[in-house]
Amino acid sequence: MRGLWAVLRGHAIVLWALAGSAAWTTPGQAQSFPSRPITLIVPFAAGGPTDTLARILSERIAAELRTTVVVENVAGASGSIAGARVARATPDGTTITIGHWGTHVLNGAILKLPYDVVSDFEPVAMIAMGTQLIVGRKSLEAGNLKELIAWLKANSGKATAGTSGAGTGAHVAAVFFKDKTGTDFQFVPYRGAGPAMIDLVAGQIDIMFDQAANSLAHAKSGAIKAFAVTSPTRLASAPDIPTVDEAGLPGLYISYWHGIWAPRGTPKEIITKLNAAIVAVLAHAAVQQRFAELGQEIPPPEQQTPAALAAFQKAETEKWWPIVKAANIKAE
C-alpha cells in the first residue's frame, strides 16, 4: 500500500470548486461553525468496518471542534439510502458522511441513484487505505487459498459467500474472484459487514471477501480462517497472512479506501475547518495505532486534503466503472 501512495503523490492533483456557498452561509456563519452538533452518517449497520472507523474518529473530531459528533447508522441499498440523505442535507457542515470505494465509486456504476456520487458531495478528507481479506469459516477443510479454490470447485454452486449487499465491494470482489478462478458460489446479502461476519464466525456461511478492519481480529483469534490479503504487500499488523500473489492468485488487488464527504455547496471555510480537525485527529498516535490494528494505513498529509480525495475518487471512478459495466454487475 505504501507503493500506491507513492504513485498517487506523482499524479497531478485536480483542483476542485465549491459552488453556491454564498447562497447558503455567510462568512460570519462559517466563522462560527460549528454552532450545532454534527451528525456523521455511516451508510452501513453498526459493528461493521466503516462504523468502527467512524466511531474511532468521532470523539476526537468532537474534541477538536468543541462540539458533539453524533454517529448515525443509515443502512440499506449498499449505502445509497445514506448517500441520498446526505446529498439532500443542508450544506452547513452539520451533516457529513463517511464512505469508501463501494459507496462513492461502485454505487455510481451499479445502482440507479437519485444523486451523483461525485458531483453531489464535497470531499473533506481521505482518512484510510485498507485492503480486503479472503476469509472463511474456521471449519472449512481448506488450509490455504489454492485448497479453498479446489474446495469451491468441488462444491460448485453450493458454497455461500456473505456480502454487504448486491453491488458492494465485497460482492464486486467476489465476482472477480469467480471469473479469475472459474468457481461458482451463492451470494448471501446482509445489511452490513458486521452482521455477515457474525454468521461467518457462527459457521452459517462459508466465505467472505471482507475489509481487514472487520475480519482481522477474528482471524487473529482463530474464529475464522484468513487465506490471503488482496494487496501486493502483506499487512504489517498481520505478517503471517500471505498476499494473493504469494497464495497463487496474482493480481487480485482490491483497495478499500475511506473518506469523509459533506453535501455539495458546503462553504469552503467549513470544509477547511472540518479537514483541519480530521487531519489533527489522524496525527494522534493512539488513532494511528488503532487504525494499524485494523489493517488500515493512514495516508500521508499531502493525501489528506479535499483536493487529493477529489482526485483519487475521480481516478478510481475512471478505473472501476468500465470494469464493473463490462462485467455486467447489477444490483439484485
Model-level pTM? 0.81
Rounded-to-integer distance, Cα 71 and Cα 38, Å: 9
Given a cut of 70, whether residue 111 has pLDDT beyond it is yes
Same domain, 162 and 241: yes
Task: Give residue 1's pLDDT.
Answer: 54
CB atoms within 10 A of CB 79: 32
Q: Given 188, 214, 247, which residue is the final one in a domain?
A: 247
CB atoms within 10 A of CB 29: 15
Same domain, 59 and 169: no
In 3D space, the residue among 11, 231, 20 whose CA is nearest the CA of residue 132 turns out to be: 231
> Which phi and psi (to 5°) does residue 90 adopt?
-60, 130
Same domain, 149 and 170: yes
Whether 331 maps to a domain, the answer reads: no
Same domain, 218 and 321: no
Whether 206 maps to a domain, the answer reads: yes
Residues 6+ apart with CB under 8 A from 218: 135, 197, 200, 201, 224
- Vertex 176 angle, CA 78 and 190, to 5°: 30
Whether 16 maps to a domain, the answer reads: yes
Domain that holds residue 237: 132-247
Task: Give residue 108's pLDDT.
Answer: 95
Rounded-to-integer distance, Cα 269 and Cα 284, Å: 24
Same domain, 178 and 121: no
Task: Give residue 5's pLDDT.
Answer: 52
Rounded-to-integer distance, Cα 184 and Cα 89, Å: 41
Whether 53 maps to a domain, the answer reads: yes
Count of domains observed in the chain: 2
In 3D space, the residue among 39, 127, 154, 128 whose CA is nearest the CA of residue 85 turns out to be: 39
Instruction: Give strand pairing partners of 38.
Output: 69
Same domain, 53 and 116: yes
Give the least confident one: 80-89, 90-99, 170-179, 322-331.
Answer: 322-331
Instruction: Write out pLDDT tens, residues 206-247.
Output: 999 998 988 999 999 999 999 999 999 999 889 999 999 999
Q: Given 247, 268, 294, which residue is the final one in a domain?
A: 247
Q: Given 247, 263, 297, which residue is the final one in a domain?
A: 247
- Higher-pLDDT residue of 47 and 11 is 47
In 3D space, the residue among 9, 15, 5, 18 whose CA is nearest the CA of residue 261 turns out to be: 18
Rounded-to-integer distance, Cα 243 and Cα 229, Å: 5
Rounded-to-integer distance, Cα 294 and Cα 237, Å: 8
Whether 37 maps to a domain, the answer reads: yes
The amino acid sitting at 237 is S
Tell me the mean pLDDT in the region 110-116. 95
Q: How far is the first Cα of the chain from the last one, in angstroms, to the nearest whole number?
A: 32
| Grid cell listed for 209 | 471477501
Q: Average pLDDT, whole number, for the chain? A: 90
Instruction: Write out pLDDT tens, residues 242-271.
Output: 999 999 999 999 888 999 999 999 999 999
Cell 475547518: give the residue.
273
Tell me the mean pLDDT in the region 117-133. 96
| Cβ burial, residue 149 (10 Å; 0-12/13-18/19+) | buried
Given a cut of 90, whether residue 7 has pLDDT beyond it is no
Same domain, 36 and 140: no
Task: Give residue 4's pLDDT.
Answer: 47
Rounded-to-integer distance, Cα 167 and Cα 165, Å: 6
Whether 332 maps to a domain, the answer reads: no
Same domain, 109 and 22: yes
Given a cut of 60, whether residue 28 has pLDDT beyond it is no
The CATH number of residue 279's host domain is: 3.40.190.150
Instruction: Write out pLDDT tens, residues 171-198.
Output: 889 988 998 999 999 999 998 888 999 9
Give the least confident one: 7-21, 73-87, 94-108.
Answer: 7-21
Task: Give residue 329's pLDDT.
Answer: 80
The CATH number of residue 175's host domain is: 3.40.190.10
Instruction: Write out pLDDT tens, residues 147-162.
Output: 999 999 999 999 999 9
Task: Give residue 25's pLDDT.
Answer: 45
Same domain, 182 and 267: no
Whether 198 maps to a domain, the answer reads: yes
Q: Where are the alpha helices (DSSP H) in the chain?
A: 2-10, 21-24, 27-32, 49-65, 80-88, 101, 107-110, 145-154, 169-181, 193-201, 212-221, 244-247, 268-282, 285-293, 306-326
Same domain, 51 and 109: yes
Residues 6+ apart with CB under 8 A from 272: none
Given a cut of 90, whether residue 136 has pLDDT beyond it is yes
Same domain, 44 and 98: yes
Cell 459487514: give the residue.
193
- Given the DSSP bridges, would you call strands 95-100 and 38-42 parallel, antiparallel or unpaired? parallel
Same domain, 6 and 113: yes
